[in-house]
Amino acid sequence: MVDPRGFLKVRERELPPRRPVPLRLMDWREVYEKQDQQQLQRQAGRCMDCGIPFCHSACPLGNLIPEWNDLVSRGDMREAIERLHATNNFPEFTGKLCPAPCESACVLGINQPPVTIKQVEVMIAENAAEAGWITPQVPERLTGKTVAVVGSGPAGLAAAQQLTRSGHTVVVYERDDAIGGLMRYGIPEFKMERAVLDRRLAQMEAEGTRFRAGVDIGADITGEQLRERFDAVVVATGATQWREVELPGRDLVGIHQAMEYLPPTNRVAVGQEPPAEYIDAQGLDVVVIGGGDTGSDCYGTALRQGAKSVTQLDIYPMAPEDRPEHEPWPTMPKVFSVSSSHEEGGQRKFSASTRAFVGEDGRVSGLRLVEVTKVDGVWTPVEGTEHDIPAQLVLLAIGFAGPEHGGLVGQLGLEADARTRFTRTPGYATGTPGVFVAGDAGRGQSLIVWAIAEGRACAAAVDEFLMGDTALPSPIRADAVPLTA
């Protein structure tokens, strides 16, 4: 530690400034400005170098958080990126998109604001990119073994990079027209610009990973053909089957799933022509059903399109600002948070449940809401609270049920559990020899940090299957559960 009393001297939690709201609503650029280096070092210096760093227990990647905090506080950014890359292929992805369970488990957070772990991670990666330290790691020799990775989200990309660096010939297949999974078109630019993703893909291509976009495995290439061409197959298709609602008026025009709305909008944000399915919120009263991150992404997107009003509905009551007693440290508590999108306008309604969609001439014109409370574990309407609100565009952001089941499932002999997730052993193997499952396709909807951890661990399992043993790290088993849940 540069200063063992750093956490006592610097008690405030400091983040870089966000761009002014009127300015950022005019474009799709990221919200945060670059952080001052001295401020970053002060914040990293708040890390206590705990005897037992509980931040590790909350991070499935096993990120060496106290080590790179110490290096940043000393100004040694070159060594910091080396320690960060030792456990995480894509630290800028997790730094921008992960809700940071590591910060909830920070020991300093017991009686002070926790260390800004997530922001330190982002700045290490961004500084390394600017300095030219993110370079290809080309394998010294090739093994002659081939691996197909189906799906190019964080789990698939992490598995592919680890296996490529081990000397295997890896081909990543993506059914969309560009590589990246939901990171490509499912996440708004203001949350993570596509240039950040493209930078890593360029590194992977230089290392030898081959990308094949616009190929629907199960249709364009069958599972049987895939197994004939490759020595191993990794299924990392994610959990993209969205949840549906069954309410009166659901068939009205103007009610869409979040993932029917965000991808076309994000295409336009990066300069593509508006596709036929483009949904424009300009001048409309927009209601987002769902209080999570995807709902927040819809919220900020609608504001940038010039919506007349934006309302986000959350069935849960408004969370407390401080950690509740029934969610003690180091668990990840449900506390009230304000995303960058929420700062930009609109309103949020809590304890709100939709009873029906109201329409005129076949189009949605409003929602019938009621306030709810939990009685014996069941959401129960509060008498006398039913009311209507206007809405000409309704976006459903209520999560994902599991992976999509198409031709690939039967072709690869995959089986599913009661939650529709593809079953696998703790070592990521399925019942079909040489076929493995990683990420949300096997875990169910989860965090990006878990996807990358699973991709790395699955790569180790594949490498051992192909070579008889492996030197690749395996941070988690497929049946691991969050220690802070």
Q: Alpha carbon 280 to chain centroid distance?
A: 25
d(CA 301, CA 474) in angstroms, rounded, equals 37
pLDDT at 385: 97
Q: With CA atoms as reference, report the closest residue to 243 among 422, 424, 444.
A: 444
Contact 272, 412 (CB under 8 A): no
Which tokens go with 12?
A: 């405030």
pLDDT at 413: 95
Contact 137, 87 (CB under 8 A): no
- List CB contacts of 246: < 8 A, sequence separation 6 or more: none
- The one-digit pLDDT tens for each residue of the chain (485 residues) are 678 889 989 999 999 999 999 999 999 999 999 999 999 999 999 999 888 999 988 999 999 999 999 999 999 999 999 999 999 999 999 999 999 999 999 999 999 999 999 999 999 999 999 999 999 999 999 999 999 999 999 999 999 999 999 999 999 999 999 999 999 999 999 999 999 999 999 999 999 999 999 999 999 999 999 999 999 999 999 999 999 999 999 999 999 999 999 999 999 999 999 998 899 999 999 999 999 999 999 999 999 999 999 999 999 999 999 999 999 999 999 999 999 999 999 999 999 999 999 999 999 999 999 999 999 999 999 999 999 999 999 999 999 999 999 889 999 999 999 999 999 999 999 999 999 999 999 999 999 999 999 999 999 999 999 999 999 999 999 999 875 44
Q: Which residue has the tokens 């994000």?
A: 266
- List CB contacts of 210: < 8 A, sequence separation 6 or more: 169, 170, 171, 172
Sign of CA dihedral 390, 268, 297, 20: negative
pLDDT at 203: 98
pLDDT at 13: 94
Residue 110 has a CB neighbour count (10 Å cut-off) of: 12
pLDDT at 485: 44
SS3 per-residue string spanning the chain: CCCCCHHHHCCCCCCCCECCHHHHCCCCCCCECCCCHHHHHHHHCCCCCCCCCHHHHHCCCCCCHHHHHHHHHHCCHHHHHHHHHCCCCCHHHHHHHCCCHHHHCCHHHHCCCCCCHHHHHHHHHHHHHHHCCCCCCCCCCCCCCEEEEECCCHHHHHHHHHHHHCCCEEEEEECCCCCCCHHHHCCCCCCCCHHHHHHHHHHHHHHCCEEEECCCECCCECHHHHHHHCCEEEECCCCCEECCCCCCCCCCECEEEHHHHHHHHHHHHCCCCCCCCCCCCCCCEEEEECCCHHHHHHHHHHHHCCCCEEEEEECCCCCCCCCCCCCCCCCCCCCCCCCCCHHHCCEEEECEEEEEEEEECCEEEEEEEEEEEEECCEEEECCCCCEEEECCEEEECCCEEECCCCHHHHHHCCCECCCCCECCCCCCECCCCCEEECCHHHHCCCCHHHHHHHHHHHHHHHHHHHHCCCCCCCCCCCCCCCCCC
Residues making up the chain, counted from first to last: 485
- Pairing of β 363-375 and β 352-360: antiparallel
d(CA 72, CA 272) in angstroms, rounded, equals 39
For the entire predicted model, the pTM comes to 0.96
